[in-house]
């Protein structure tokens, strides 16, 4: 099923990834940033309903100069005392948040429309590819994007799934194996009836009904370990 998921990502399709039992226990819609379009954004916000984010490989994040948001808050707490109390040291499923900055592309208007978010995300993918090919200039991120914005950036952990196994790292690992730029759009699937996350079995049923690939994080982990060994 991992091969099918990789092929779907390469074809610009959305796939579903369930992280793990005992973790978030959530299923995310996932698509390659460089292949995103407004229809993807519409589907994610209307049928998934969670927060639309872009997970970024740490090498791209380093090139862009992107910090973890917790680092920004820690740096600013001497001026704004309330920030010192906001440390996310009680996350029940993880030890650290992957959140970085929020951005809009400078060619967007409000930044929130399907068209605007698709433009921002696609341009992140394009610039990320450039960063990995050593053609990136240090000030390009700021020239192309403004912050705050409507697209949440997530910085994947160094060493990816060998360090952390959230949707951020799982999706980036999958993009690597697919030969795509490791910048990936993710969005949690929510349940309007219960007010909670969509249960795994419901997400699998949704995938079957809509002809989408559903995979589990443990399978991504196993395949990525073998991928690195090769």
Residues with active-site annotation: 28, 53, 93, 104, 150, 188
User: At residue 224, what are phi and psi to the nearest 5 degrees?
Assistant: -70, -35
d(CA 58, CA 182): 9
What SS3 state is found at 49? strand
Answer whether 5's CB lies under 8 Å from 180's CB: no
Which strands form 15-18's sheet, in the order they lie side by side?
99-105, 145-155, 53-56, 183-188, 27-32, 15-18, 214-216
Paired residues of 27 in beta bridges? 18
d(CA 41, CA 180): 19
What SS3 state is found at 143? helix
Q: Where are the beta strands (DSSP E) in the chain?
A: 15-18, 27-32, 53-56, 99-105, 145-155, 183-188, 214-216
DSSP assignment letter at 10? H
């Amino acid at each position: 099923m991992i091969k099918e998921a990789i092929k779907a990502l390469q074809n610009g399709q959305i796939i579903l990834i369930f992280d793990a039992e005992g973790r978030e226990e959530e299923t995310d819609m996932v698509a390659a940033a460089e292949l995103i379009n407004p229809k993807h954004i519409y589907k994610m916000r209307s049928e998934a309903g969670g927060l639309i984010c872009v997970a970024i490989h740490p090498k791209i994040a380093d090139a862009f100069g992107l910090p973890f948001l917790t680092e920004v808050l820690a740096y600013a707490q001497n001026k704004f005392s309330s920030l010192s109390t906001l440390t996310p040291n009680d996350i029940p499923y993880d030890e650290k948040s992957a959140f970085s900055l929020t951005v809009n592309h400078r060619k967007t208007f409000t930044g929130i429309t399907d068209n605007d978010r698709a433009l921002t995300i696609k341009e992140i993918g394009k610039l990320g590819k450039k960063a990995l090919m050593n053609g990136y200039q240090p000030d390009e991120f700021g020239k192309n994007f403004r912050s705050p914005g409507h697209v949440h950036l997530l910085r994947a952990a160094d060493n990816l799934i060998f360090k952390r196994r959230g949707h951020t790292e799982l999706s980036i690992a999958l993009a690597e194996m697919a030969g795509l730029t490791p910048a990936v759009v993710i969005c949690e699937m929510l349940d309007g009836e219960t007010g909670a996350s969509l249960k795994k079995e419901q997400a699998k049923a949704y995938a079957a009904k809509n002809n989408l690939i559903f995979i589990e994080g443990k399978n991504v982990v196993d395949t990525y370990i073998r991928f690195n060994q090769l």
